[in-house]
Amino acid sequence: MADMVNTSGASAVLGKFKKKPKIKEPKMTRKERNERFKKRLENLTPEEQAYLKRKRALEGVWPVVRAILVFSLCFIILYPLIFMVSTAFRPRAEMNDPTIMWIPKTFITSNITDCIKAMDFWNTLGNTLKLNIGCALLSVVTCAITGYGFARFKFKGKGILFGIVILMILVPAQIINIPQFLYFRYWDIFGIIEAIKGEPVNLINSPWTMYLPALTANGIRAGLFIFLFRQSFRGLPKELEDAAYLDGCSPLRTFVQIMVPNAASVFLTVFLFAIVWYWNDYYVSTTFFTDNTTIALALKNLNDSLRLTIFGNGNVSVSPRELIVWLEAGCLISIAPILVLYVVLQKYFTEGIAHSGLTGM
């Protein structure tokens, strides 16, 4: 019940958010407004007068305070990004110029092109996109199915099984990484592969280390996704399915034809988050990939690859202050795709979390 209230409330407000009703007030000069206010006060008790005066003062001051607050907080959040853009396009020598705060004297793009070369950017981008979109799609589908199972069916051991889902959220990837690594290193299914090929398969460095967990709803942050789906499916009215069952629809078909279309926005949100988290992940991928095959990994190793490709020597010493221009440039091109995605689809990122997810805890 709580979920339903939340969902409808949020969507109502978000709906209001989209189209702002414009109330046109007749324009008055400050003098006129003051006079009107005084007239209003005339017939009131002193207490009421004081209340109205206080309220008026507050209404006058608060927007200014609020504007300053919001502006400064936005500034703090955007500071690293502004800094990134500002440094990414300046020549390294100007890092040491104290007269330059934000706008460099000369504008160059060579840092960016250097980084593209050092990170082998286009190839890496292709790899990352392939891996990301594949894993994100698999995760969304499998987590949705699992979430639906937890949301709508009663079966023995459900409590314990859902407890495992919660544990999946809680246990950090770092703890279970080594055993996972061993599994992938000597991958085998009940000894079948060993019987055929004579030895287990080494999956390390193959994208299967990412696809397999995603395929079985165990990818990055899968616990959270299952949780999100469960919450949002629980928020949908039960009558929807009951009607379908009465008409002789099987649960699977009900899920595909009735529930999925109704939860479409959650699907999009989870998909977007899956893309973002797979994009940003470097911990899991460093364990399973030893080459720079994803953007996050390439960025993590940018330091070394820069030295090799640009200065032609792994041991060359560059002042860290000057190295910043390249690091920030690399950073910029690495987050650019995600940033564009966020700017275009901002609504779905925020709305989805507000709608479903944690709100019904």
Partner 1 sequence: MKKIHMSYEKKKGLYGYGFIALWFIGTLVFFISPVIQSIIFSFNEVKVEEGELAQTFVGWAKYQYAFGTDPNYRQYLVEMLQNTALKTPVILIFSLFVAIVINQNFRGRTFARAVFFLPVIIATGPVYAIITGDMSTNGSNEAAQFSTMFETDMVDQLLEFVGIYGFNDKFTEILTTLTADILNLVWNCGIQILIFLSALQNVSTSAKEAAMMEGATAWEFFWKITLPCVSPMILACLIYTIIDTFIDPTNKVMTLIVAKQTQWDFGLMSAMAWAYFAIVLVALGIIFLIIRNWIYYEVE
- Under the criterion CB under 8 A, does residue 355 sit at the interface with partner 1? yes
Nearest-angstrom CA–CA distance, 90 and 325 = 7
Strand partners, 201: 187
Q: Is 82 in the site for partner 1 (CB under 8 A)?
A: no
Q: Which of residues 62-81 bind partner 1 (CB under 8 A)?
A: 63, 66-67, 69-70, 72-80
Rounded Cα gap, residues 230 and 359, in angstroms: 12
Total Cβ atoms within 10 A of residue 118:
23
- Please identify which residue in 149, 210, 266, 270 interacts with partner 1, judged by CB under 8 A: 149
CB of 114 to partner 1, least distance (A): 16
Are 207 and 184 in contact by the 8 Å Cβ rule? The answer is: no
Tokens 């991958």 sit at which residue? Answer: 187
Compose the 259-278 pattern: x for residues touching partner 1 by CB under 8 A, - for all others: -----------------xx-
Candidate ranges 28-36, 113-121, 122-130, 337-345; the one touching partner 1 (CB under 8 A): 337-345
Stretch that binds partner 1, among 26-34, 36-44, 125-133, 143-151 (CB under 8 A): 143-151
Q: What minimum distance in Å lies between the beta carbon of 31 and partner 1?
A: 25
Residue 12 or 28 with smaller CB distance to partner 1: 12
Show contacts with partner 1 in window 195-234 (CB under 8 A). 212-213, 215-218, 226
At residue 38, φ and ψ (nearest 5 deg) are -65, -40
Provide, rounded to whole angstroms, the least separation between the CB of residue 76 and partner 1: 5
| 35 vs 336 by CB, closer to partner 1 | 336
Report if residue 311 touches partner 1, rule: CB under 8 A: no
Half-sphere exposure of 268 (CA within 13 A, CB side): 16
Cα dihedral: 285, 286, 290, 293 (round 10): 50
- Both tokens assigned to 335: 């987050």
**Among 60-68, 107-115, 121-129, 261-269, the segment contacting partner 1 (CB under 8 A):** 60-68
Spatial separation of the C-alpha atoms in residues 125 and 132, rounded to whole Å: 10
Question: For partner 1, which is the closer residue by CB, 95 or 108?
Answer: 95
Residues 107-136 close enough to bind partner 1 by CB under 8 A: none
Between 35 and 164, CB nearer to partner 1: 164
DSSP state of 187: B
C-alpha span between 311 and 305 (Å, rounded): 10
Q: Is the dihedral of CA 106, 295, 136, 228 positive or negative?
A: negative
Using rule CB under 8 A, residue 283 touches partner 1? yes
92 half-sphere exposure, CB direction, 13 A CA radius: 13
Closer to partner 1 by Cβ: residue 35 or 173:
173
